[in-house]
Structure 1
């Protein structure tokens, strides 16, 4: 392991590389991350083609955005063996922080859309919605705020319990704690979520 990079980021780099290799010779499906099967996940969509979340993660860091990685990328950082083709983010939804998040997305030529798939301008106001979808070179996914319904979960507290991995050049990647990720998985309740929650439980 590179001594300059925390183990969670090493795991993520290795998983992203395996994802790209797996998808390299696969025919396109025409499916995006929003079309992912509830059992297979986004590894079965075109999101796996060229999957590399690091350009966006580095852009978030450069712009001082306190976004927290959730979903299966966070699962991989905690040791999950399942691959993914998308990057999901959670941030506090405060208007004062929206310009930096918009700037980070614009710096990697990300495109935004609403939950129906309708395109939206990459503008701070657009990001104040409970959830927007983004597509950027290397990674697509959802960008959520605590306003998105999560059952009984106190999402702002989840943000406060996030952990941080460190990479070269001072890179910091914030990601949801293992315990909170398990709670989020169980709240979602899809087959892949329950399977991955059980896996994370076994990694304790």
Structure 2
């Protein structure tokens, strides 16, 4: 059993790539994911590797918090995913460094309707931007994105951190906040994944499962 969060994510990404190896591309991106199956069933799983972008964000000195199922995996979820969702503070002064991190991995931006956006810092100031890169795609959000009655800025500030080789530091949403976000969305995959993390929470005895 892998206990280190980042090693757990590396293993999950490797298994995702193996699962999708040889699968024909369908043209479906992360935004087309089924509400039950998730992005493991889309082209996002082909070659999925979140680490080039996570390492780029770290190099450029931007505090970004991982949300979504990648955060779930960091907390111990066994379910695979094919996208990387991110939350940052939305401060205009931090946008140039974040844009540079995306540019360094060849990422492209689009708005929520799928219309391409210029790869400029101001494009990231929207509440949510879709991004794609050769290794990973997903959503990059700011606290301005409505999320039920949740205070997304507080969720950002509470993000935990895991350290890896070479000083890599990856911030990710707390287990409690991740499940609150999932239940606010209420999709089948969100509720299933929230229940999984609840059942495996630290300190939860086997007789409670």
SS in 1 for 2:143: coil
SS in 2 for 1:56: helix
How far, CA to CA, are the matches of 2:70 and 2:174 in structure 1?
12
Deviation at 1:186, TM superposition (A): 0.3
Matched, 1:131 2:135: no
How far, CA to CA, are the matches of 1:27 and 1:83 in structure 2?
19
Deviation at 1:53, TM superposition (A): 0.4
Name the residue aligned to 1:174: 171
Deviations 1:37-79 (CA, angstroms, capped at 9, x unpaired): 0000000000000000000000000000101000000000000
Give the structure-1-normalised TM-score.
0.96
How far, CA to CA, are the matches of 1:115 and 1:61 in structure 2?
26
SS in 2 for 1:26: coil
Name the residue aligned to 2:89: 92
Find 2:37's aligned residue among 36, 40, 45: 40
Q: Which blocks of at least 5 consecutive residues in structure 1 are unaligned? A: none
Name the residue aligned to 2:99: 102
How far, CA to CA, are the matches of 1:28 and 1:155 in structure 2?
34
Q: Which blocks of at least 5 consecutive residues in structure 2 are unaligned? A: 202-209
Deviation at 1:138, TM superposition (A): 0.7
Find 2:183's aligned residue among 151, 174, 186: 186
How far, CA to CA, are the matches of 2:22 and 2:118 in structure 1?
33
Deviation at 1:137, TM superposition (A): 1.4
SS in 2 for 1:22: helix
Deviates more, 1:6-15 or 1:131-140: 6-15
Alignment map for 1:156-167 (pairs within 5 Å): 156-167=153-164
Name the residue aligned to 1:202: 199
Name the residue aligned to 1:72: 69
SS in 1 for 2:122: helix
The structure 1 segments of at least 4 consecutive aligned residues displaced by more than 4 Å after TM superposition are none
Deviation at 1:193, TM superposition (A): 0.3
Deviation at 1:203, TM superposition (A): 1.3
Matched, 1:149 2:141: no
Deviation at 1:105, TM superposition (A): 0.5
How far, CA to CA, are the matches of 2:182 and 2:200 in structure 1?
15
Deviation at 1:109, TM superposition (A): 0.8
SS in 2 for 1:185: helix
How far, CA to CA, are the matches of 1:29 and 1:21 in structure 2?
17
Name the residue aligned to 1:11: 8
How far, CA to CA, are the matches of 1:138 and 1:106 in structure 2?
13
Count of aligned residue pairs for this structure pair: 201
Deviation at 1:121, TM superposition (A): 1.0
